[in-house]
A and B are shown apart, each in its own frame.
Chain A
Amino acid sequence: MKGFELAAILGNPEYVAMLLHGIEMTFIIAVCSWTLAMTLAVILLAVRFSPGRIGNAVVAAYVSYHRNVPTLVQLMLWYFGIYTILPSGLADWLSAHSAEMIFAVVGLGLCQAAYFSEDLRSGLRSVNPGQMEAARALGHGYLSAMRFVLIPQGVRNALPALVNHSVSLFKNSSLAIVIGAPELTHAVKEIENLSFRTFEIYLVGTVLYLFFTLIIMAAGAYLTWRADPANGARR
């Protein structure tokens, strides 16, 4: 093994460009799948809270599947499985538009939606039912009571769990390497193959991931703190 030399990685413009590209792709995957997951989670939650057994059962099955199957296997099923049985027109369009990125976003997003919707649901359920009765007694309709009374409190209760799962979504974006998406871990592996400086490049990759997750954790802690009425949040 050669001596430890961080400059061999960080002083090489080619490697730095690869790392930056990897970071960019990781963020694209994370942000897109987060948006997809949150949108879907709200829809799932709306179905869960509306009457109707079939809708409820479908959502329960959706959540159960995505929470009990490893994320990696879900990604593999999407990319190696579902991709091959799509109609050829759609498959061609996908392969022309970096299919691995799209499947990474879809796979991670659908998976995380299950977690987000459960977080939001338990947040809403932990709001005292008396709040709804009081809001209705004050003349709010169901939707207006939800909008102005229950959802603000429910989201506040769900915030810590949502932040934790956002962090794991960011970390899970590294799984996309298995289906060949060019994200940060992929860049790290590629630089390792080119430079043979395994220790240095793994260290750089680890520090980068740690840096971003700690920022997300800190932002989440700040949000949670801000949302507490004791710290001056709008009531």
Chain B
Amino acid sequence: MIHDLIAIVDQYWLLLLIGQYPNGPLGGLANTLILSALSIAIAFPFAILLAFARLSKYRVLRWPVTVLVYVTRGVPLLMLVLWSYFLVPLLTGADVPSFLTMLTTLVVYQGAFLSEIIRAGIVALGQGQMDAARALGHNYFSAMRYVILPQALYNMIPSMLSTFVATIKDTTLGYVINVPDLTFAASQVNNQLLTQPFQVFLILALTYYVICWSLTWVTNVVERRITRRRAGLIAPKRRGQLPISLTPNATEQP
């Protein structure tokens, strides 16, 4: 059993890692990670805009975004994948690679989820921060940019990391539309071997486990650190963060 696992990994590790890359499209684990990182990177600015729209005082902005968020939360991701597989080529009029289709889906899906996280972060800060910033002469956008968002986003780092883990898990759905990711590579290996499906899919599951478990571990460490810093147990390290030194023997001055 263990021997089978080692033999399979030994023979197919390159396919599982980068797919058929030099001779074909990039695939395997590398593609899974690139797809998730890229979709989070694109979804993030998009999510901030959505969060602003949901917190806006104008109904024209608030309602469509609320509908978008509820629809993406209420429909299985698989259904959204099918939608983009059908709509993206139709709207762009081009033969879109399945990687881009999956990227579009994940950006919309995770954008909606992230926007809820960011909105919660902004709401959790309380109205006082905004009022104070406005009283100091910031306008709405400048208050958001310099006062609200830096705090809200900092507090939201753990949730965003766990969204990243969720995204890695969600990329597996690309299997349905043949995105060449890790799951796809594993099923290719399975098709070549034919006799050891259990071993192949066990390797697949263990690979995902190792990646997601380590990222979750990092998330927990970061979360603990942020909680302690917010409780004031660790002083911020950056120079000039505090305009007035609070400790009598502090040597750092802005």
Query: Which A residues are closer than 8 A to B by beta carbons?
Result: 1, 64-65, 67-74, 76-77, 80-82, 84-85, 167, 171-175, 177-178, 185, 188-189, 198-199, 202, 205-206, 209-210, 213-214, 217
Contacts and interface: CB of A to CB of B under 8 A. Distances in A.
B75 A73 contact: no
Nearest to A205: B79
Contacts of B70: 210, 214
Contacts of A172: 76
A77 B173 CA distance: 15
Interface of B: 70-71, 73-79, 82-83, 86, 90, 165, 168-170, 172-173, 175-176, 183, 187, 190, 197-202, 204-205, 208-209, 212-213, 216
B198 to A, nearest CB: 4
B213 A206 contact: no
17 contacts: A68-B209, A70-B172, A70-B183, A73-B183, A74-B205, A76-B183, A77-B198, A77-B202, A81-B197, A81-B202, A177-B78, A185-B78, A185-B82, A189-B82, A198-B86, A209-B74, A210-B75
B74 A213 contact: yes
A209 B204 CA distance: 30
A214 B74 contact: yes
A154 B131 CA distance: 37
Nearest to A217: B74
Contact of A84 (B76, B77, B197, B209): B197
Q: Kindly list the 7 A-B residue pairs having the minimum CB-CB distance in the complex, ordered from nearest.
A: A81-B198, A174-B76, A68-B212, A70-B169, A213-B74, A81-B201, A171-B76
B209 A199 contact: no
A97 to B, nearest CB: 21
B161 to A, nearest CB: 13
B108 to A, nearest CB: 13
Contacts of A178: 175-176
B205 A73 contact: yes
A214 B172 CA distance: 25
Contacts of B71: 206, 210
A32 to B, nearest CB: 18
A210 B74 contact: yes
